[in-house]
A and B are shown apart, each in its own frame.
Chain A
Amino acid sequence: MSRLVRRGITWMICCLAVLSLPQAGLAQWNANQIQPATALSQSVLIQPAELVKALQSGKNQPIILNVGPRMLYLQAHITGAEFIGPGSDPDAIKQLHARAQSVSHSSLIVLYCGCCPWSHCPNVAPAYSELQRMGFTNIKVLYIADNLGTDWVYKGYPTVRATN
């Protein structure tokens, strides 16, 4: 390949890179960039009914951490759940890290979000990965198929709701 052709190709690649810059802004909205909930293994999931049973048993109470958006947490959250912040946000992951530092690595921690359908949730998998990286061995992620309303609140499970 002649030097001229190689230079031409390099020039074209540079031009394409520059032209694609405006798209970079849009790409941030693309959920594919964030580890989806579907990446989690079935073995780490806990079903809503199982969690209710565990809560009602009164023993070995899990630490429940909400890794969803603040507005939705304020609207309704699982009784006893602590707000951390959306797991897709690096600041929330720092918050999770800080919160988890005072917890024994063998403690049962349940993470949940419920912002949107499981296949679209960007928050639980990054939070799970962080706890796993920190060495926690008993992490569960609450499987919320559609959203917190449908899969938890409207089923009558223990909830703290915003008052009107």
Chain B
Amino acid sequence: MIALQPKAGTELAPDFTLKAIDGTSIRLSDYRGKVVLLDFWATWCAPCQEEIPRFVEWQNQYRNQGLQVIGVSMDDSPEPVQRFNREFRMNYPVAVGTQDIASQYGGILGLPVNLVIGRDGNIKAKHLGMYDLMLLKRELNLQLDSK
């Protein structure tokens, strides 16, 4: 696991628009004002499978405080993502990512990659690989507490 900390949360998260697997559109900048947990994952990624049920739980728990989880899958096609989405009852927007978006975020060189994006749209933390979910939750709470 590696934690890549941008400079004091001043790096703006690159905006993107993706078609979600439910057919709607996901534009990151639409969530400005919310705390975003941006999760790069894949259906074949075992650590991602461990994390996602927690993210579903957090989305329910912290929705009213302004948390928005967004899942960007690095699968090669949407079919397994759609099945996974149903079976894991994912309650947040999920889309299949592109090479371009992965590159904009510094390259996805292993999974999962989690980013905590503050209400101001800046990247507050980036974690490549398995990360302690208690610490991640603490980081999210820190952002949720800041208005």
Q: Annotate B57-98 by CB proximity to A: 1 below 8 A, 0 otherwise.
A: 000000000000000001110000001100100000000010
Q: Annotate B106-147 by CB proximity to A: 1 below 8 A, 0 otherwise.
A: 011111100000000000000011100000000000000000
Decide yes or no whether B10 CB sits under 8 A from chain A: no
For A71, list chain B residues within 8 Å (CB): 42, 74-76, 97, 99, 102, 108
Q: Are B107 and A74 in contact (CB under 8 A)?
A: no
For B75, list chain A residues within 8 Å (CB): 69, 71
The residue from B46, B84, B108 contacting A75, defined by CB atoms under 8 A apart: B108
Q: Annotate B37-53 by CB proximity to A: 1 below 8 A, 0 otherwise.
A: 00000111111110000
- Interface size, B (range): 20 to 34
Decide yes or no whether A147 CB sits under 8 A from chain B: yes
Q: Annotate A74-111 by CB proximity to B: 1 below 8 A, 0 otherwise.
A: 11100000000010100000000000000000000000
Looking at the complex, which of A8-16, A41-49, A54-62, A113-121 is the stretch in contact with chain B? A113-121
For A162, list chain B residues within 8 Å (CB): 99, 102-103, 107
Besides A69-B74, A153-B109, A162-B99, 4 more A-B contacts (Cβ < 8 Å) are: A29-B49, A72-B74, A75-B108, A114-B110
List the interface of chain A (C-beta within 8 A of B): 25-26, 29, 31, 69-72, 74-76, 86, 88, 114-117, 120, 122, 146-150, 153-154, 161-164
